[in-house]
Structure 1
Amino acid sequence: MAEHDSPAPTETPAPTETGTDTSTRALLGPGHFLARLPMHRLVLGVAAVLLLFRIWLAAVTPITGDEAYFAFWGWQPDWGFYDHPPMVGWWLAPLMALSWDEWVVRLPALLLPFVLAGLSGWLVRRSGIAFAEERGWLTALLVLLLPTSVWNVFITTDTPLVFFSLLSVAAYVVALERQGWQRWALHALAGLMLGLAFLSKYFSVLLGVAFLVHVIVARREEGWRRFAEFALFVAVALLGPALNIWWNCSHCWANIMFNLYNRHESSGWGKSWANPFLYVLTLGYVATPFLLAALWKFRDEVKNAIAQPGLARTAFWLAAVPLGLFAALALAKKIGLHWLLSFITLLCILAASSLPMTALRRLAAWLGAFAALHVVLLLVVSQLPLSTWEKADFHRGLVLTFRSQELLQRLEPYANDYAFASDGYSNAVTLGYNARRYFMVFGLASSHARHDDILTDFRELDGKNILILRKSEPNPGEYAPYFRDVQQLAFQVEGVTFYQVLGHGFDFHTYRERVLRDVKQRYYRIPGFLPMNGCYFCERYFPDEECR
């Protein structure tokens, strides 16, 4: 039986305003006014207002360190990059060629909520359930009013991940309704979209596990054919990992080393018992307490919906499995807010497919109030001076981000005679993005964002001058071993002291033995079971030594 061939559930229509008694109005609560509005106009109006707000936010907020880091991937696109698979760099490459303006390079993230809202609403409208047309528009409204739909205009690897993940879900849902060659073709398309999601971020594997669970548990009535269809799905999806493995094999297994080894120094089972509680709080915020409370309050209706083959059942399994796996992972490490974004839209689809109409309208009203609160807070915060945060640990970083041009003016006299650098990737790429000139990372730095190891060849800097800009004071003699002579200057911006280290006559050989060898031991000890066709770091600096 096809996934959506079962009869659609029925529901008593919501009362109209005429003849609605006081008790019914109280039941409708804040969602009562939604019953009187043309839903498509309401959704389009909210989308228009939200679009204007997001364009403003993207234009006035300076590029952050992570965003600038990914922007430099787009500046020099390749088949792969250090931290993650290459998709976000591929997305940014044409935009970077067009313009470096913040709102341009943020366009994919800026537009993502509207794509998600449109696609999820379309899935619900075509599902055949009672009130499908209005439920579809309400689905889109729920997605648009999620907190991250309000403020998340920032460049991350999660933007293409979320996009391709939902496309994969949509192709899969439609495939289950078709027969013949169309069913097979749509399974292949769903696999291709999952493969592209993998080239965005490895977390797509969790969605792949969810597909497998759905095939085993929720499609038992289809017999063995479902496993043949899933085999085709997997075969096409593996094209993404194959490309990623090919690149990693000749590039120090950089993605694997970062994601499975180097970034987890502080992780481990039971190391922080706060992590599970933080995960619950994070999920509660991203999905909103209102959405989770509605799903719980109407759990009987949700159970009835997912008991039948259909969209609600598919959305439930494809959301519940990854979110459950994250809950287990939270016992070992902190779960990032952005990790959850691929699956929250599915919770909106589940709610829209199973909740009573009155509850759904009421939920949309509460989400609208929550979204409006975010808008007001962001408008207020945008008007506060940077000095408001002067006692916070992140104040120095804020000044560097928001006052980059003032810092760069201090460096202008040295532009022709020095290579520019900073002591960490966030400072370096933020300054580099605003200067439209690459700043390298000088020193050991951290396990994160070591793409500079690919871009910078310190051999070429031997004997040259290097200017290192820092937001913390260097230790006495910290840079003396690496230069013929060193001069240190200090200046203030917004009350924050920054430091310029002017190094003359860079000594590459000393730097290799004292810094690059440490980098090799920490971050390029590649396990022996991984076959290697090349490693840029070891071939460049330690050609006679193994990267093992």
Structure 2
Amino acid sequence: MAAPGARRLFYAALAATLILKLLFATFLPMTGDEAYFIVWGMHPAMGYYDHPPMVGWWLSALLPFGHAEWWLRMPVILLNTFIGWAVMRILRPHRGDLAYLTGTLYLIAPVNLYNVLITTDTPVILFIFLTGWAYYQALVSQAWRDYVLSGLAVGLGMLSKYFEGLIAIALGAHWLLLDRRRRSFLGLLLVAAIGAALFAQNIWWNYEHCWDNFLFNLVNRTHHGLRVDGPPVYLLTLLYLITPPILLGLYRVRGQIRARLREPLVGGFAVFAGVPLLLFGLLSFKNQIGLHWLLGFYPFVFVLYGALCEAKAQRMALRFMFWFSAAHVVLLGTLLALPTPALKHIAPKFYPIVVLGSHTAAVWKAAEPYAAGRHLATRGYATAGILEYHTQRHFAVFGTGSDHGREDDSLTDFRNWNGQNVLLISTNDLPATAYAPYFEKVRKVVVDVQGAPISLILGDGFKYAQYYAKILKPIRNSYYRFPHWLPVGQCPFTQRYFGTK
């Protein structure tokens, strides 16, 4: 393919995929996880329970200008468009027009088309990529400026999600295994110092807020014991994400990879991708590795592939990727076009939550007449986030909840509810008696929305003492138990309810 043709193909793919993602982002209802992070943006803070605060900060900046799904998803819509362009720019000086083919290949990969959800992964994917790109530039130029940029990206990534730490490990591994230049070592120290200085803010916030991030990520959600299904599932995830043609292409050039490891373009991106993916492989014996965990390191695989694979292999991969992605687009487009009641037969167990997410206005219209003079609540963070996003009214999480989505522990003070009335909106069919211990009087109203039964629990006279004994104490024992070696500055949750850190 001549250079002008490859360029035209790349820019056509850039425009077409951007339009397609905008359409998906416009018509896909806001998911529970996304709405939960939007609630972060509605309540700006220096940190949040589950993860560092970056996505909350981004959403706080976007919310004053609109609440539309496509607008709040704009960072992730632009993210992979930018990375696809950057992959081309990295390769262009070395591979000429083949760089455009690699960039196109990245742009049309399925996950880069349907991933239009704004989550904590969005900023960390960006900063992981910028970390690797800037450090690669530093390996080539040995300029302090590039090390500074890489350090800033590390720090901002660590304020996004802790997966950024894996690329930091990869930078150290690259020096240890392949580089060993004195200036590179000093540059690596500069990266670490800048990253640590930015990350210090998050450490201080955690010290003053129950070590929420650390307990969630390193203690409360950690699987104990070995998972025999973990490694096979992880390998299948890699096969799906990277795709067989790209894996085959990399396998065929394995000799070139070994021979050229000391070249920054080959060795750098091989380590930036390989070390984190290897660490995830080891972790898969303990935890299930989600596909989204891998997305920050995914672009580095394309850079390595584009650095070594020739036009014939790239054209074959492009043909496969086009049809593979087309199948995903058709499937997602069909699901979005289906009338909501049709989904009842596809996923009957989840149909009520689908209705609550896609017809929230109708759910709230049915519930609002009961809301006057009542605190609003749901049983989980996903439904609470969806309802708060659509109604602009705060919904508390009632009950013990799960190890995920515990930000409401800091937003709601149940002491203030004592003796007052509550409206709880639920997508499950628990009887009113399940809530009876916590109220003087309780009744249940079931409303039908698009064929889904939505439960409205009307609780009068909230019994704080009962809730304290049956709910708040188990929450403390499950989610706010600090290792003996961990110094605790403040813990608003335990101080509020138990008068102690």
Decide: shared fold, TM above 0.5. Answer: yes
**Which residue of the partner structure matches residue 283 of structure 1?**
238
Aligned position for 2:91: 124
Q: Is contact 2:439-2:462 (8 Å) kept?
A: yes
Shift of 1:510: 2.2
Q: Partners of 1:307 and 1:161 in 2: how far apart?
A: 26
1:159 to 114, 122, 126: 122
In structure 1, what is the equivalent of residue 195 of structure 2?
237
**Aligned residue identity for 1:303:** R
Contact 1:195/1:238, CA 8 A, preserved across alignment: yes
Which of residues 270, 275, 278 in structure 2 aligns to 1:316? 270
Q: 1:484-525 CA distances to partner (integer Å, 9 max, x unpaired)?
A: 211111122222212111011212222112211111111111
Name which of 199, 207, 221 aligns with 1:249: 207
Q: Secondary structure at the match of 1:394?
A: helix
SS, match of residue 498 in structure 1: strand
Find 1:86's aligned residue among 40, 49, 53. Answer: 53
Q: State the 1:291 CA deviation.
A: 1.3
> Which of 431, 441, 446 is 1:490 aligned to?
446
> Are 1:58 and 2:14 an aligned pair?
no
1:107 corresponds to which residue?
Answer: 74
- Is 1:170 the equivalent of 2:156? no
Aligned residue for 1:412, secondary structure, equals helix
1:297 aligned to which of 247, 252, 256:
252
Is the CA contact (8 Å cut-off) linking 1:302 and 1:355 kept in structure 2? no
CA contact (8 A) 1:35 1:361 kept: no
- Cα distance per residue 1:113-132 (max 9 Å; x no partner): 11101112111113xx3xx2
Structure 2: 5+ residue runs without aligned partners?
A: none
| Secondary structure at the counterpart of residue 177 of structure 1 | helix
The one-letter code matched in structure 1 to 2:266 is A
Alignment-derived partner of residue 379 in structure 1: 333
Deviations 1:361-414 (A, max 9, x none): 322232222222222222222222333332433222212211211111111113
Alignment of 1:386-535 (within 5 A): 386-391=340-345, 392=347, 393-475=349-431, 477-535=433-491
- Which residue pairs with 1:358 in the alignment? 312
Change (3 A) 1:429 1:307: closer
In structure 1, what is the equivalent of residue 174 of structure 2?
Answer: 214
- Offset from partner CA, 1:285-323 (integer Å, 9 cap, x none): 12122211221133234334x334131211001100000
Partner of 2:183: 225
Q: In the alignment, residue 487 of structure 1 is paired with which amino acid?
A: R
* Aligned mates of 2:384, 2:246 — CA distance in 1: 40
- Does the Cα contact within 8 Å between 2:88 and 2:99 map onto a contact in 1? yes
How far apart are the structure 1 equivalents of 2:54 and 2:322? 33
Distance 1:162 1:142 in 2: 18
- Residue number in structure 2 paired with 1:262: 220
Compute the displacement of 1:110 (Å): 0.9
**How far is 1:533 from its partner?**
1.4
Q: Tell me how far 1:37 sits from its aligned partner.
A: 6.1
TM-score (ref. length: structure 1)? 0.88
- Asked if the contact 2:246–2:317 (Cα under 8 Å) also holds between the matched residues in 1, the reply is yes
Cα deviation code 1:7-61 (max 9, x no counterpart): xxxxxxxxxxxxxxxxxxxxxxxxxxx5586111111111111111111110111
C-alpha deviation, 1:476, in angstroms:
5.2
Task: Specify the alignment match of 1:537 in structure 2.
Answer: 493
8 Å contact 1:125–1:134 — kept in the other structure? yes
**Alignment TM-score, normalising by the size of structure 2:** 0.96
CA–CA separation in structure 1 for the residues paired with 2:132 and 2:245: 24
Task: Say which SS state the counterpart of residue 502 (structure 1) adopts.
Answer: strand
Letter in 1 for 2:206: N
Secondary structure of the structure 2 residue equivalent to 1:529: coil
Aligned residue type for 2:425: L
- Deviation per CA, 1:114-152: give whole Å up to 9, x if none: 1101112111113xx3xx221321232122012111100
Hey, what's the Cα distance between the residues in 2 that align with 1:39 and 1:369? 19
Distance (Å, rounded) in 2 between the aligned partners of 1:40 and 1:53: 20
> Amino acid of the residue matched to residue 86 of structure 1?
P
Deviation at 1:356? 1.6
Over residues 460-498 of structure 1, what are the superposed CA-to-partner deviations in whole Å (9 max), with x where a residue is unaligned? 222221101111122452222222211111122222212
State how many pairs are aligned. Answer: 499
Amino acid in structure 2 at the alignment position of 1:238: A
**How far 1:346 moved relative to its partner?**
0.4
Counterpart of 2:147 in structure 1 is 187
Residue deviations 1:79-137, cap 9 Å, x none? Answer: 100000001101111111111110010000111111101112111113xx3xx221321
Post-superposition offset of 1:204 = 0.9
SS, match of residue 348 in structure 1 = helix
Between the aligned partners of 2:69 and 2:235, the Cα distance in structure 1 is 33
Give the letter for the 2:353 counterpart: G
Provide the C-alpha distance between the structure 1 equivalents of 2:29 and 2:340, rounded to a whole number of angstroms. 13
What residue identity is the alignment partner of 1:210? Answer: A
Q: Which amino acid aligns with 1:535?
A: C
Identity %: 37
Greater shift, 487-496 or 211-220, is seen at 487-496
Q: Secondary structure at the match of 2:448?
A: strand
**Aligned-residue CA RMSD in angstroms?**
1.6
Task: Give the match's secondary structure for 2:494.
Answer: helix
The separation in 2 between residues aligned to 1:303 and 1:366, in whole angstroms, is: 27
**Aligned residues of 1:147 and 1:288 also touching (Cα < 8 A):** no
Q: 1:76 aligns with which of 43, 59, 67?
A: 43
- Asked if structure 1 preserves the Cα contact closer than 8 Å seen for 2:137 and 2:146, the reply is yes
Q: Which has the higher helix share?
A: 2
- Number of the residue aligned with 1:200: 160
Partner amino acid, structure 2, of 1:331: F
CA contact (8 A) 1:121 1:139 kept: yes
Counterpart CA distance in 2 for 1:445 and 1:96 is 27
> 1:175, 1:372 → 2: CA distance?
38
The answer on whether the counterparts of 1:428 and 1:440 sit within 8 Å (CA) in structure 2 is yes
Deviation at 1:255, TM superposition (A): 0.5
